Structure 1
Amino acid sequence: MRTDWATLPEAVTKEVADRVGGFHISPAATGDHAEIAATVTGPTGKVFLKAAHSDFGVRSLRFELRVSEAVSGSHSPAVRWHFKAAGWLVVGFEHCDGPHADLSPGSPDLDLLGEALVALGKTQAPDVGLFSPKGRLGFEHPAMDGDNLVHTDLGPANLIVTPDGLRIVDWAMATKAAPWVELAILAQWLIGSGHTPEQAEQWLARFPAWGEVGPDVLDDFAFKNAAKWATKAQPNSPAWMHNLADWTGQWSTYRRTPENT
């Protein structure tokens, strides 16, 4: 749950002001991993700030900080600074200006995402204690194990098209896994952006990792992922859970059709 900026202790806001030279705050419109998430604008420019106070929030943000510092490459925003004050962990990230990526069929942003996926597919997981596939997704299969860095949440909200190319933000759920796991999770976001399951798989098939995993493994992944979201999508669940239940369910149903596998 997000916390209002006005509730931050003076020790925190003063430290932020000292670092950016006074500031204007624009709260983030999407995402819910951090208690505070906002664009902070000052004379020295913009930073994207995340802050946390609760035990869970601090653990999550500290994890994201460690991963972000370890990830090197042009597709992830840099950590500008971080500090602790009055029980809060505060992190200033490179600000990424631009719209969220459009992943609909035929969008030019898909080419940018493809370039990023090629780079990620070659990125070994840093030695920072990442999630395991089961720890991140709630289910497992031996083929999911691997040594690659996998973001696991490449939805449009975490993809920003900047003048310098695509930036992938929010590494809070980064996982150490086989590279095909990133592609399998991406299927739900492609379907949610207007692709049919067949179109989503055709797009994913351009990456070598997709062809290196057996159809039975993809069947198992699709079924377990759909079952997980179907369980989460209760009447009082937020709309995004129902969306994911729909999109993962579409893919699982497609893969259960014999002529499609």
Structure 2
Amino acid sequence: MTTTRLHWTDLPASVHRAVAARLGTPVLAAQTVSAGFNSEIAAKLSTARGAVFVKGMQLSHPRVWTQRREREVNPYVEGLAPTVLWHLDVDGWSLVAFEHVEARHADYREAGDLELVVEALGRLGRVPCPPIELRRAEQRWAAYVDDPEVLSRFGGGCLLHTDLNNENVLIRESHALLVDWAWATRGAPWIDPALWVVWLIAAGGHGPAAAEAWAARVPAWQTGDPTVVDVFAQAQARMWVEIAGEEPDPWTARLNRAAQRWARFRGHR
């Protein structure tokens, strides 16, 4: 389920005033950021003191909990994600401000960018899972796996990002930052590189074997039992069929095709 993107000017004046007070200076310009699907508001706010990036959702939104999730995860992923500066709940809105990062989205067809993602996922694999409420991998994909014993092996004690859309990976100078931690999950360490395979195939320029070769450069990939990864690939294929439905938009159709290709590849392994 995607969320309709609003503009900064759509927010009530009371929210504007509260944000200016929190910033300690007026907002001089607001630029809506189109990337991402989870937030109703995503904007770069420019002030005389510099810029911040603000994400927001109405407190009545069924996924407003993702705002809290991002705040709670942030202290544990220092250096892997932009820093949360502050948050406000005001006049029916939940807002989270991050340091503004001058960066570009990763290009999954470029080897240099992929090297940086490998490094970032390797660093993430060494982060202890924080003692906060997180979704569990074995619960998230339960509807797409028939064997409870194999499903249980999706579980684990690692912090996972799980939404490795290239628009959630920012390239700044010589390193990659992971943004949008709304779907952070506790699970087995091989899951993030496995999910990355689907995104690499969808990006073009990578068949399943080549995509897996990149995933295999992430140390956590080696911890996955191939038979369990086979089941995980089938689960992704089932999930994307469900998401796509009868008349998918081009973006969803592309991800669905990628998931089916990977599942067929694993099935013939």
TM-score normalized by the length of structure 1: 0.92
CA distance 1:30–1:83, change in 2 (3 Å): same
- Identify the residue that residue 244 of structure 1 maps to in structure 2: 255
Alignment of 1:256 with 2:267, yes or no, is yes
CA distance 1:144–1:237, change in 2 (3 Å): same
Structure 2 counterpart of 1:109, one-letter code: D
Distance 1:72 1:255 in 2: 32
Alignment of 1:91 with 2:96, yes or no, is yes
Distance 1:16 1:164 in 2: 32
Q: Secondary structure at the match of 1:56?
A: coil
Q: CA deviation at 1:149?
A: 0.6
Structure 2 counterpart of 1:162, one-letter code: R
* Contact preservation (8 Å) 2:198, 2:262: yes
* Contact preservation (8 Å) 1:35, 1:52: yes
1:212-244 CA distances to partner (integer Å, 9 max, x unpaired)? 222211110111110111122123333222111
- Identify the residue that residue 47 of structure 1 maps to in structure 2: 52
Select 1:154's aligned residue among 148, 154, 164: 164
Unaligned runs of 5+ in 2: 146-150
Q: How do 1:14-33 residues align onto structure 2 when only pairs under 5 Å count?
A: 14-18=17-21, 19=23, 21-23=25-27, 24-33=29-38
Structure 2 counterpart of 1:29, one-letter code: S
Distance 1:240 1:76 in 2: 25
Alignment of 1:110 with 2:114, yes or no, is yes
1:18-49 CA distances to partner (integer Å, 9 max, x unpaired)? 31622211111111211111111111111110
Q: CA deviation at 1:164?
A: 5.9
- Identify the residue that residue 148 of structure 2 maps to in structure 1: none
More deviation in 234-243 or 18-27? 234-243
Identity, % of aligned positions? 34
Alignment of 1:201 with 2:212, yes or no, is yes
Distance 2:33 2:83 in 1: 18
Distance 1:153 1:224 in 2: 16
Distance 1:214 1:74 in 2: 30
Select 2:176's aligned residue among 155, 166, 170: 166
Select 1:81's aligned residue among 79, 86, 94: 86
- Identify the residue that residue 65 of structure 1 maps to in structure 2: 71
Q: Secondary structure at the match of 2:105?
A: coil
- Identify the residue that residue 241 of structure 2 maps to in structure 1: 230
- Identify the residue that residue 185 of structure 1 maps to in structure 2: 195
* Contact preservation (8 Å) 2:120, 2:175: no
Structure 2 counterpart of 1:116, one-letter code: A
Structure 2 counterpart of 1:191, one-letter code: I
TM-score normalized by the length of structure 2: 0.89
Distance 2:198 2:77 in 1: 27
* Contact preservation (8 Å) 2:159, 2:184: yes
Distance 2:180 2:221 in 1: 24
Distance 1:45 1:135 in 2: 42
Q: CA deviation at 1:135?
A: 4.0
State how many pairs are aligned: 256
Structure 2 counterpart of 1:46, one-letter code: A
Distance 1:124 1:239 in 2: 37
Q: CA deviation at 1:128?
A: 1.3
1:66-99 CA distances to partner (integer Å, 9 max, x unpaired)? 222x323211110011111112111101112111
* Contact preservation (8 Å) 2:156, 2:188: yes
Q: CA deviation at 1:139?
A: 4.0
Alignment of 1:176 with 2:176, yes or no, is no
Distance 2:139 2:64 in 1: 18
